[in-house]
Chains A and B, each alone.
Chain A
Amino acid sequence: MTTLQDVFAKAKAENRAALIGYLPAGFPSKEGAVKAAAAIVEAGCDVIEIGLPYSDPLMDGPTIQDAVHVALSQGTRIADVMRTVEGVAATGAATLVMTYWNPIDRYGADRFARDLASAGGTGTITPDLTPEEAEPWRVASAEAGIDTVFLVAPSSTPDRIKAVVDCCTGFVYAASLMGITGARDSVNAAAEGLVARTRAHTDLPVCVGLGIGNGRQAAEVAAYADGVIVGSAFIRLLLDAPDEASGLAAVRKLAAELAEGVRQR
């Protein structure tokens, strides 16, 4: 199993940023999600975040909402998420689950952490779990040996950044902007400052996500961050593709462009 530590050590040795891709489980279909992930890993993506489709994704923009809607209408369950993780981890990419808190809470924190570890998952990103409420998840994750990634935002004060990074293992997720997921025309200028402010409190890698969708933006972010996170741009291509084969070709092409970008720092 490839760990986040392996990924960032390798990227550092190659003097580049890591490329992290996000795809929801069950989208465009249960098998399609693994195929799409495999395609972008083949094209140079280091880490895959598998999204756990949730009925009330209040941090997500229309693109991810649409994909999650597809996944849920096809009956995607947590067992499918675990199977997806297994399939993706087999490609050699470090594989995380990104999920809102309630599905873990309901499934049982210990059970979720154990099942994810057995599936070959290396950790989770939990965007609506704040340090105040994170204790049960940190304990369960430590027990199962998986990483816990939490988010800092442009609005975060130094105290908040400290509280968040103290809960993180693996890396810290810096949200580039105040807003929801979705590709944007340009990367928010606040992202660089946020990364610098975060580094003041931690030696963990700091990765930037939200609003990144092309090679130029990836290169721009790779100049100051340890990792570049891309989700909606991949999903948009899959949503717009007339069939599975062209969708896979499109995400492979984008992943190659982004992989190129993270190598141009």
Chain B
Amino acid sequence: MAHDGTILTAADLAGNGTYGNDPDLRGKFGIFGGRYVPEALIPALDEVAQTYEKAKNDASFIREFDHLLRTYAGRPTTLTDVPRFSEEAGGARVILKREDLTHTGAHKINNVLGQALLTKRLGKKRVIAETGAGQHGVATATAAALMGLECVIYMGAVDCERQALNVARMKLLGATVVPVHNGSKTLKDAINEAFRDWVTNVDSTHYLFGTVAGPHPFPEIVRDFARIIGVEARRQMLELTGQLPTAVCAAVGGGSNAIGIFHAFIGDRDVQIHGYEAAGRGLESGEHALTLTAGSVGVLHGSRTYVLQDDEGQTIESHSISAGLDYPGVGPEHAWLKDSGRATYHGVTDDEAMAAFSLLARTEGIIPAIESSHALAGALKLGQELGPEATILVNLSGRGDKDMGTAMKYFGL
């Protein structure tokens, strides 16, 4: 239990194996994860891993992180019952975990504050990050402003356009935004470019990675800093409903908001865990980001995981209406959860996500991020299956302000 008005204990932060599922010393979750990176980066990854290992067992680090989460990010975030929305979910009781109410408007702030504190411990003065939807970029630029760090954000040129509002926010916060014109001009290419910067400037720079993908230790660190979502939600569900939910749902891009809410429930064997990937224009169209649902095992961005790739290991470009889910890889822990059967992953099309986006706005007065709308659409389907007795906890990972441009186009507003 939390103490002294704090929300975070050492166990909350790291789980410390309580829920199983910690990677081994090589950063492997079963066959997934590890490090497939240039040797030049190994010392930096080791340094990050060792610094984190110390920090997570250091009461002063936990106190600092807790303080920022409460007084800056706005934690704990509330749960919200959405009865009018639930009518479309077969009458199941849908409850939202409101990460959209955090400072900067998405779950990304949790990981960013943790890693920004880590950056100080690493003695580095510059942070770089990739961003898709721009939420991780905004959160990173925010933390950099707060802590006086130089900040460079890599963002695919396509994403810069569809998330223009967030580009402006990052600039206002003092960050340099570098549009990436290579490849698919989306998140995947932004990550490539960020790695190129990192290997060049590793002495001065921390790569503030934004999701639970990438080489070890990022999948573990980002998960631990996002774990607070599920830790809080589990307590709050018990308070609100007197029991654990029937199912927990989240959207899966790289997988950070999903693992953030899933992780505290992994040990609760009766709680179903469902992740929703972007099915884009549908599996048959070939224009999707169904990494876990339709991909195969390979290596992308330093980690062994499910990947959208052709028969010779070339990455296939993904598609999603939401920039944050438009990624042909996924965090290795999700790959592991899928193969072990503990979690189930499904696809939600652009149209289904946009319908859920609009439904939540009209029935509950909440405009969700399009990423999060994939989880909402998933909950609508799941509710039909599970029936009115079920309680479904959905991670509302972010708010939709950034998506107004896309919504205006899609709905002809």
Contacts and interface: CB of A to CB of B under 8 A. Distances in A.
Interface of A: 54-59, 61, 65, 69, 72, 77-78, 101-107, 127-130, 132-133, 150-157, 160, 164, 175, 178-180
B34 A59 contact: no
Given A105-B299, A156-B43, A130 B35 contact: yes
Contacts of B203: 178
A198 B299 CA distance: 28
A58 B299 contact: no
B40 interface: yes
B135 interface: no
Contacts of A180: 196, 199-200
B39 A156 contact: yes
B195 A58 contact: yes
Nearest to A180: B196
Contacts of A133: 34-36
Contacts of B182: 65, 69
Given A102-B299, A106-B298, A178-B200, A55 B39 contact: no
Contacts of B34: 132-133
19 contacts: A55-B183, A55-B314, A58-B192, A59-B196, A78-B312, A101-B36, A106-B309, A128-B299, A130-B42, A133-B35, A151-B38, A151-B39, A151-B40, A152-B39, A155-B44, A156-B43, A178-B199, A179-B199, A180-B200
A156 B313 CA distance: 29
Interface string B289-310: 0000000101111100001010
B312 A56 contact: no
Interface of B: 26, 34-44, 182-183, 188, 191-192, 195-196, 199-200, 202-203, 296, 298-302, 307, 309, 311-315
A72 B315 CA distance: 12
A153 B39 contact: yes
A78 B313 CA distance: 10
Given A54-B314, A61-B196, A155-B202, A128 B42 contact: no
A129 B41 CA distance: 12
B302 A178 contact: no
Contacts of B200: 178-180
